[in-house]
Amino acid sequence: MNIKLRGPEAVHQFCDVVSDSCTANLTLLRAVDGVVDWLTTLSDEAQTAAAKAERFADLICKAEPQDEIDPDDITADTIHNAENAIERLIEQFRIRRQSGVKDRELGGEHEACVLSAYDETIEAFQHLHSAMTALRWAIMEHDADLSPVSGPFSSVEQMLSLLKAG
């Protein structure tokens, strides 16, 4: 195969193309690494929080009820708000994961790494959501066991009078 050089400009253009391609590849690699690192950090934090929530729920369920934990439902409301925020985060992760699927620059191992990181993060946050729900219910059930108003009632009036007195 005979290749004729058309002067130094052709070599220079070729080198520019190779350089640009390598720079683009490095930029993509940095972006992939950044996304995977970010998702790994979030996933680790969600797993840690889920483990703590599960531990709290377990302790509450095993404890002998003495005092209400959340008499004004402030903690339950806060946990419920956290559950809603987690649901919104999971939806954003799903949207971003789908963007990764559609991204033409992302392919092969890069795509697999990014999608796997999103999958793991989604799973970690789903686990956190379940743990937070379990914690909220553990608190509500604990406090319900201490509630002065409990049935069975002989009439609606009896129940209402106990509620008004409480």
pLDDT at residue number 163: 65
d(CA 47, CA 37): 15
What is the C-alpha radius of gyration for the chain, rounded to an integer number of angstroms?
Answer: 28
d(CA 88, CA 48): 19
Q: Report the mean per-residue pLDDT for the chain.
A: 84
* pLDDT tens profile 28-37: 667 777 889 9
pLDDT at residue number 121: 97
64: confidence class by pLDDT, cuts 50, 70, 90: confident
Residue 97: CB atoms within 10 Å: 18
pLDDT of residue 26 exceeding 70, the answer is no
pTM of model > 0.85? no
Q: Alpha-carbon torsion 114, 119, 123, 125, what sign?
A: positive
pLDDT at residue number 91: 98
pLDDT of residue 22 exceeding 60, the answer is no
* pLDDT tens profile 69-125: 999 999 999 999 999 999 999 999 999 999 888 877 777 888 889 999 999 999 999
pLDDT at residue number 110: 81
147: confidence class by pLDDT, cuts 50, 70, 90: confident
Q: Which of 33, 36, 46 shows the shortest CA–CA distance to 123? A: 46
Choice between 124 and 24, residue whose per-residue pLDDT is larger: 124
* 66: CB partners within 8 A, 6+ apart: 146
